[in-house]
Structure 1
Amino acid sequence: MLRLQGRARPNWQEIVESQGLGFHRNVPQGQHGRPYWDESVHYSFALAEVEDLEGVVEELHQMCLAVVEHVITTKRFADFGIPEWLHAPITASWKRRDPHLFGRFDLCYEGKTHPKLLEYNADTPTSLVESAVIQWEWMTAVHPDADQWNSLHERLIDRWKQIDPGPLHLAYTATEESGEDALNVAYMAETATQAGLATQVLTMEEIGWETGLQAFVDSQHRTLGALYKLYPWEWVIADQFAGGAIEAQSSGTPWVEPLWKMLLSNKALLALLWELNPDHPNLLPAYLDGPRDLISYVSKPLLGREGASVRIVTPAGVTENAGDYGTEGYVFQEFWPLPEFDGWRPVLGAWVVGDQAAGLGIRETAGLITDNTSSFVPHLIVG
């Protein structure tokens, strides 16, 4: 694994925008003023490294599914802060095996030691377009003889064919102002369309509750069946019509991601993974009742996003990001610093589609906490 310097194409902004990446202009830049998409550098991997990462991702995925089974069997919902009225619906969703689509494992890796799981984005992962499309197009234009760990597009199409939910609505929230969520949903709609599904994109705010039908409808009063939502379940269950959303899951056309994914999009997962797989080489010690004997640790809110409300405690001091998360509780995970390449720290976002490893996206930051000022950089497989 190497970080290599290059030269950005003179008209790179126009190129990536023509490929769909328009929101990059609206992403806040860090203290170094880097653009969100930065093709002036890239990472190079040996094929053996990628093959190892693929195996790690698929093993982690199976371990996560085993956690869901454990929580359902032992009724450990309280560890996740999930209210009692949701226990039975989540259990039913799991027992039906409501279909899951994809997720992104965030890994710490430098090409030498075992990759370490930092967290799992299992419900509403983003950076999909950059991972699936933009870096692939960059490779074919700039490094046409190289390869890339990137089968996201094809695997998403195949997975939609397997799920086969019928007519599909896809929704994002209009409150997300950068345009990132809208782009991710539009791309997901493209993959579903290529899989042969009839699709309709809308915002969550356009979805209404039809009292007479006792059903959700879109802005044209069409009943919602299958719904792909870039909108986390913890927000859904806080809505006025949460009961209707939960009831809709038993209709035969459940929403994607399924309700049982609440157990994987919650960072309590990290503690249960460690409890059930102690000393696993790809896991870090993590606990729900405090840092225990950890000398250096990270406290992460169970439902936090983009590094908000994260606190790193080491003998050298404390580093923290402000945020509004944390009332739901925290997990305490051993601090495993990101590797440093030329003053920058990469997080590897390794994708899984269905049950298969599907690709890689890399975000860099100068600090210890990866947040919404990080930059996305492409990668290659060489040799």
Structure 2
Amino acid sequence: MKRHTIDPRPGWQQTVEEQGVVYPLTRYPDGSLRPYWDESAYYTFALPEIEALEEVVEELHGLCLDAAAHIVERDRFEDLGITDPRLAALIAESWQRRSELPSLYGRFDLRYDGTGPAKMLEYNADTPTSLVEAASAQWFWMEERFPGADQWNSLHERLVAAWKRQSTLLPPGPVHFAHSDGDELGEDLMTVAYLRETAEQAGLDTEALSVEQIGWDRLSGRFVDERLRFVRSCFKLYPWEWLATDRFGPHVLDTLDNGGGTGTTCWIEPAWKMLLSNKALLAILWELHPGHPNLLPAHLGGPHELAATGYVSKPLLGREGAGITVHRPGTAPVIRDEACCYQELAPLPDFDGNHVVLGAWVVEDEAAGLGIRESSGLITDEYARFVPHVIV
């Protein structure tokens, strides 16, 4: 694993925008605009490295599924901050009937520097983004800059194949694809548009709408779109913790399709993905597999022995690094008021002042690709940059 610098292509911004990355720049607090899609650098990997990472990702995915089964079997929903018995029961039912429910993709965030074992930082298996740049833009970049090279990237083909395989699990009618109007950058919009494109290439009938356009028909007791058609299935880039608790949350639970239901809505991702996108999973994984080479020590309720080695505290729910705090070795332990997971501090690798996290993608149950983000600090936040890669 090596970092290289390179001159960006002339007109790169227009190029990646045409490929779906309509958010190529990030506005910083000082008002300046700097590249989010950053092709002034790229990373190279040796093929054995990528093959080893693929094995790690699929093993971690299997461990996460085992941990989800453990949570359901031992009724540990309160550890995840899920205190509504009805919601917990529906998640458990969703898990038990998961073979009847469509489930598409997820993204592991890994610490890896090319020398030691990759370490799992977290798993976003509900609403992962940075998909368009990983699946599409960096592939076209490679074909233009390094024709004949290779990349850890079978995302597009695997997504199309997944829709084809799972089409029989979908109820009749179009699959609606929903994002929130609150998305100011356009990232959620383009992620959903790209996934809709993969579904259409798989032969599915689709419709687009925003979450805010989904209506409730009192007479039929069904969700409807802006043309008053029933929303029988919906891919939503909208976190389950919002979907289940906002104004229409009770209707979501009333009409949740957990397999074979009529008069219900099949949501993609399914409700059981809430078990994998909660940071409490990190502590449960360590409890079940202490000392595993690809896991970091993690606890609920406090940092415990990690105060001596340094730790990060992560809210159980959150994205883009929100709410994460870093605690250096030897500092007094801090117990936060909100429910958190306390994970051993594993500083991100530093390549020429750039702190790197690997985003390893899973489609269905198989490793499918890699996206790399760099940040100036130890937390990968909304100012992180996406950098492409090739295999040498």
Q: What band does the TM-score fall into relative to the shorter chain?
A: over 0.9
Contact (CA 8 Å) 2:42, 2:387: kept in 1 or not? Answer: yes
Letter in 1 for 2:94: S
How much does 1:327 deviate?
6.5
Q: Deviations over 1:215-259 (max 9, x none)?
A: 000000000011100000000111222122123323266211000
How much does 1:30 deviate?
7.7
Asked if 1:130 is matched to 2:95, the reply is no
Q: Deviations over 1:110-136 (max 9, x none)?
A: 111000000111100000000000000
Secondary structure in structure 2 of the residue aligned to 1:255: strand
Change (3 A) 1:327 1:220: farther
How much does 1:84 deviate?
1.7
How much does 1:358 deviate?
0.2
| Partner of residue 19, structure 2 | 19
| Partner of residue 373, structure 2 | 363
Hey, what's the Cα distance between the residues in 2 that align with 1:210 and 1:363?
Answer: 43
Hey, what's the Cα distance between the residues in 2 that align with 1:328 and 1:81?
Answer: 10
Hey, what's the Cα distance between the residues in 2 that align with 1:185 and 1:172?
Answer: 7
Contact (CA 8 Å) 2:311, 2:329: kept in 1 or not? Answer: no
TM-score, normalised with respect to structure 1: 0.95
1:349 to 359, 371, 377: 359
Hey, what's the Cα distance between the residues in 2 that align with 1:315 and 1:328?
Answer: 22
1:209 to 208, 216, 225: 216
How much does 1:302 deviate?
0.4
| Partner of residue 292, structure 1 | 304
Contact (CA 8 Å) 1:172, 1:203: kept in 2 or not? Answer: yes
Structure 2 unaligned regions, length at least 5 = none
Q: Deviations over 1:253-276 (max 9, x none)?
A: 621100011111110000001111
Contact (CA 8 Å) 2:23, 2:36: kept in 1 or not? Answer: no
Contact (CA 8 Å) 1:171, 1:227: kept in 2 or not? Answer: yes
Asked if 1:306 is matched to 2:333, the reply is no
Secondary structure in structure 1 of the residue aligned to 2:51: helix
Letter in 2 for 1:312: V
| Partner of residue 94, structure 2 | 93
Structure 1 unaligned regions, length at least 5 = 321-325
| Partner of residue 186, structure 2 | 179
1:218-367 matches, cutoff 5 A: 218-250=225-257, 251=261, 254-294=266-306, 295=308, 296-315=310-329, 328-367=338-377
Contact (CA 8 Å) 1:146, 1:381: kept in 2 or not? Answer: yes
| Partner of residue 150, structure 2 | 147
Contact (CA 8 Å) 1:29, 1:35: kept in 2 or not? Answer: no
| Partner of residue 112, structure 1 | 115
Contact (CA 8 Å) 2:301, 2:339: kept in 1 or not? Answer: no
Hey, what's the Cα distance between the residues in 2 that align with 1:64 and 1:157?
Answer: 24
How much does 1:163 deviate?
1.4
Change (3 A) 1:33 1:18: closer
CA RMSD of aligned residues (A): 1.7
| Partner of residue 323, structure 1 | none
Hey, what's the Cα distance between the residues in 2 that align with 1:357 and 1:29?
Answer: 33
How much does 1:87 deviate?
1.5
Q: Deviations over 1:29-51 (max 9, x none)?
A: 48896410011100000000000
Contact (CA 8 Å) 2:236, 2:267: kept in 1 or not? Answer: yes
Hey, what's the Cα distance between the residues in 1 that align with 2:277 and 2:337?
Answer: 16
Hey, what's the Cα distance between the residues in 2 that align with 1:30 and 1:114?
Answer: 36
Secondary structure in structure 1 of the residue aligned to 2:48: helix
Secondary structure in structure 2 of the residue aligned to 1:227: strand
Contact (CA 8 Å) 2:16, 2:24: kept in 1 or not? Answer: no
How much does 1:154 deviate?
0.4
Hey, what's the Cα distance between the residues in 1 that align with 2:41 and 2:210?
Answer: 35
TM-score, normalised with respect to structure 2: 0.93
The percent of aligned pairs where both chains have the same amino acid is 55
Secondary structure in structure 2 of the residue aligned to 1:23: coil
How much does 1:19 deviate?
1.1
How much does 1:91 deviate?
1.1
Hey, what's the Cα distance between the residues in 2 that align with 1:316 and 1:176?
Answer: 40
